[in-house]
Structure 1
Amino acid sequence: MTYIIALPCVDVMDRACVDECPVDCIYEGERTLYIHPDECVDCGACEPVCPVEAIYYEDDLPEEWSVFESVNAEFFDDIGSPGGAQRLGPTGSDHPYVAGLPPQGE
């Protein structure tokens, strides 16, 4: 089990969760953040600090955002498990589903 970042983060990327994460498992895409499912230790520190309430425990992910479970996991298919987001830095890319979304907000 892991935490998942859903639609409210797209085009927001506040990064409060990144600062709070003790294991550095929240990676930066072009338009959203992603939690690495194998690096996350399920501590829950990220969830309460998210100002847009985009982070959910896997079992609590709202049905309308269920696609984000696979989006978060599949994002790491190409980059694997780098062992820390700070070491990797911004990826400059997103999962195709996120990349295809219309601009959020405004």
Structure 2
Amino acid sequence: MTFVVTEDCIKCKYTDCVDVCPVPGCFLEGENMLVIDAATCIDCGICEPSCPADAILPDSYEEAAKWVELNRRYASEWPVITRSKPAPEDAEQFEGVPDKYANYFSPLPGRGSASPG
């Protein structure tokens, strides 16, 4: 089992999970969401309760299945994020909004934070 980031992260992009993760390089940053690299994740689960948007699920959950491929794909394309960043100013407005993938998902990479500066 590993963990995946789901649609609930889109446009919220809280990064609390990055700070609690014991594995550098596990989270990757897109323009408006994060993903988890399953090859790097050690399945500790510490990130799941730290997400204010409840956007992280074990991949064994039925509702997580459709996010496994998205996390795998973008984990190989987006930059690593190793420290938290402020959430978007309008993040709270997007909590619980349905159909965020269809309406707001961006495949563009984020800025990442693999190195200081």
Instruction: Give, in angstroms, the shift of residue 78 of structure 1.
Output: 4.2
Distance 2:46 2:20 in 1: 6
1:28-72 Cα shifts (integer Å, max 9, x gaps): 11111000010000000100111111100111241xx53211100
| Residue equivalent to 1:47 | 48
Report the residue type matching 1:27 in the other structure: L
SS of residue in 2 equivalent to 1:101 = helix
* 1:68-83 equivalent positions in 2, closer than 5 A: 68-78=67-77
- 1:69–1:49 Cα change, 3 Å: same
Q: After TM superposition, what 4+ stretches of structure 1 lie above 4 angstroms from structure 2?
A: none
Structure 1: any 5+ residue segments left out of the alignment?
A: 87-99
Asked if the contact 1:6/1:54 (under 8 Å) is kept, the reply is yes
The answer to whether residue 32 in structure 2 is matched with residue 37 in structure 1 is: no
Report the residue type matching 1:59 in the other structure: S
Structure 2: any 5+ residue segments left out of the alignment?
A: 83-100, 106-117
| Residue equivalent to 2:6 | 6
Asked if the contact 2:11/2:32 (under 8 Å) is kept, the reply is yes
Aligned residues with identical type, % of pairs: 33
- 1:70–1:60 Cα change, 3 Å: same
1:2-24 Cα shifts (integer Å, max 9, x gaps): 10000100011110101110102
TM-score, normalized by length of structure 2?
Answer: 0.64
SS of residue in 1 equivalent to 2:23 = coil
- Residue-pair matches, total: 87
Distance 1:54 1:44 in 2: 13
